[in-house]
Amino acid sequence: MNCFSLHETPLQPELLRKELQDPACGGYAAFEGWVRDFNDGRTVLRLEYEGFAPLAVREGERILAEAQKRFGVERARCAHRVGPLAIGELAVWVGVSAAHRGEAFDACRYIIDEVKHRVPIWKKEYYQDGDSGWVNCERCAAAPAQPHASLAAAAPEAPDHGHGHGQGRGHG
């Protein structure tokens, strides 16, 4: 059974790894994401993760199932921290076991990439200069009533007769 979980306490990779042991598996690959002390040219002192638990687990498990189907791996597991984290702490753990190493590596890579883009988890960084910010959010802030600006800037060639309201999904 694939499982995605959120944790307020430190992750324990040795326990997670045991969940993946399987006599049919000759390969195991894992990825650990650690808290880094810089981002975007700024010194990061600590950070905070926040998750929307029911949907995060649901979407996370969809990703694990996709990886299993796509790469034919036996088992896949992902655990993610929430709450305050210090530099160097383990933020996310992904592990996969499979008959052979190739699919284990590929599935592991797929899972971490998808988790970063799809699972409703947010990260706030606290910087050395006293500032703080939500990663990927700060640049999306806009004054109210801006959708029109994007319309006026529409490509001059072959414009759509539509008069959309900027409904495109920004991510996901």
Partner 1 sequence: MSAPALYGLVLTGGRSRRMQRDKASLEYAGKSQLARAMELLTPLVARCFVSVRADQLYDPHRAAYDTIADIKPNLGPIGGIHAALHAYPDHAWLILACDLPFLDRATLQHLIGRRADTRIATAYRSSFDALPEPLCAIFEPRSLAVIEESLTRGQQCPRALLSGADVELLDLPNPRALDNVNTGEEYVAAKATIGTAAATPAAATPAAAVPSGAGASRRLQVRYFAMLREQAGRSTEELETQATTPRELYEELRRRRGLTLAPEFLRVAVNDEFGDWRSPLADGDTVVFLPPVAGG
Helix axes 53-71, 101-118, angle to 10 degrees: 150
What is the distance, to the nearest Å, from the Cα of residue 100 to the centroid of all Cα atoms in its chain?
Answer: 25
Q: Which of 7, 41, 55, 99 binds partner 1 (CB under 8 A)?
A: 55
Cα separation, 17 vs 29, whole angstroms = 10
Is 36 a binding residue for partner 1 by CB under 8 A? The answer is no
- Region binding partner 1 by CB under 8 A among candidate stretches 14-22, 48-56, 68-76, 95-103: 48-56
Residues 124-163 that bind partner 1 (CB under 8 A): 124, 134-138, 140-148, 150-152, 154, 156-163
In this complex, which beta carbon is closest to partner 1, that of residue 74 or of residue 91?
Answer: 91
- Region binding partner 1 by CB under 8 A among candidate stretches 14-22, 53-61, 68-76, 98-106: 53-61
- Show the tokens assigned to 160: 């759509």
In this complex, which beta carbon is closest to partner 1, that of residue 54 or of residue 130?
Answer: 54
Is 41 a binding residue for partner 1 by CB under 8 A? The answer is no
Is 23 a binding residue for partner 1 by CB under 8 A? The answer is no
User: Which amino acid is present at 169?
Assistant: R
Asked whether the CA dihedral 97, 101, 107, 108 is positive or negative, the reply is: positive
Cα separation, 80 vs 53, whole angstroms = 11
Residues 59/121, Cβ–Cβ less than 8 Å: no
- Contact set with partner 1 (CB under 8 A): 33, 49-52, 54-55, 58-59, 80, 91-92, 112, 115-124, 134-138, 140-148, 150-152, 154, 156-172
